[in-house]
């Protein structure tokens, strides 16, 4: 009897990877457009950073799809240095003069919110794919790693969004409690 995931399971995982690939392409394009529309260099830097991250995700997913096509098990490698870079990433976006610009940064704030939505959607997709791959330990690990990668991006965006919101609240002397 042949060991490994069933053909139906492999087909479902491949279909899910194709959907995830489209999301990574969409995400990279969104961050590219957000960088192009940004009026501040610091904002452009942050969106370019996230765009490059999405492009690395795309390459990782294409690699997984190729491995599956070749009959190889899934395998995902992420350097520890990449995770550390994300954890330490501090955008030059969050400066005191940003608050003084008021309405001029509304687009950047909206883009942060949209980016958070994209990352949450990707996390949900990879969680579903991990469940679809249940029983294939290598595939489950790949999807767990991809969930963690997307969570890191969400954390970066949320950290900036929350900090920006607090800066505006402080400037307006408004606190909801």
Q: Tokens 């505006």 appear where?
A: 168
| CB atoms closer than 10 angstroms to residue 125 | 19
Q: What's the pLDDT tens digit per position in 41-64?
A: 777 887 898 899 899 889 989 998
pLDDT confidence of 141, banded at 50, 70, 90? confident
- Give 24-62 as a 3 state SS string: HHHHHHHHHHHHHHCCCHHHHHHHHHHHHHHHHHHHHHH
Residue 116 confidence (pLDDT): 92
Mean local confidence (pLDDT), 119-138: 90
Residue 62 confidence (pLDDT): 94
CA distances to 56, 93, 98 from 44, rounded to whole Å, are 18, 9, 14
Q: What's the pLDDT tens digit per position in 68-125?
A: 899 888 877 666 666 666 656 555 444 455 445 544 556 677 788 888 999 999 999 9
- Give 120-170 as a 3 state SS string: HHHHHHHHHHHHHCCCCHHHHHHHHHHHHHHHHHHHHHHHHHHHHHHHHHH
Cα radius of gyration rounded to whole Å, the chain: 19
For residue 73, the 8-state DSSP code is P
105/124 Cα distance (integer angstroms): 29
Q: Which pair of tokens denotes residue 174?
A: 């408004």
Q: Which residue has the higher pLDDT, 6 or 33?
A: 33
């Amino acid at each position: 009897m042949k060991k490994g995931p069933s053909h139906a399971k492999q087909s479902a995982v491949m279909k899910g990877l194709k959907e995830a690939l489209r999301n990574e392409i969409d995400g990279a394009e969104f961050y590219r457009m957000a960088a192009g529309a940004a009026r501040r260099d610091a904002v452009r830097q942050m969106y370019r950073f996230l765009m490059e991250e999405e492009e690395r995700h795309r390459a990782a997913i294409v690699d997984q799809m190729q491995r599956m096509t070749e009959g190889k098990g899934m395998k995902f490698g992420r350097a520890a240095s990449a995770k550390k870079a994300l954890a330490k990433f501090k955008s030059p976006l969050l400066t005191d003069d940003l608050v003084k610009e008021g309405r001029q940064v509304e687009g950047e704030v909206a883009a942060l919110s949209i980016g958070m939505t994209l990352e949450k959607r990707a996390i949900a997709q990879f969680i579903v794919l991990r469940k679809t791959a249940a029983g294939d330990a290598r595939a489950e690990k790949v999807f767990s790693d991809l969930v963690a990668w997307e969570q890191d991006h969400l954390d970066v965006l949320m950290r900036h969004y929350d900090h920006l919101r607090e800066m505006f609240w402080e400037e307006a002397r408004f606190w909801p409690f």
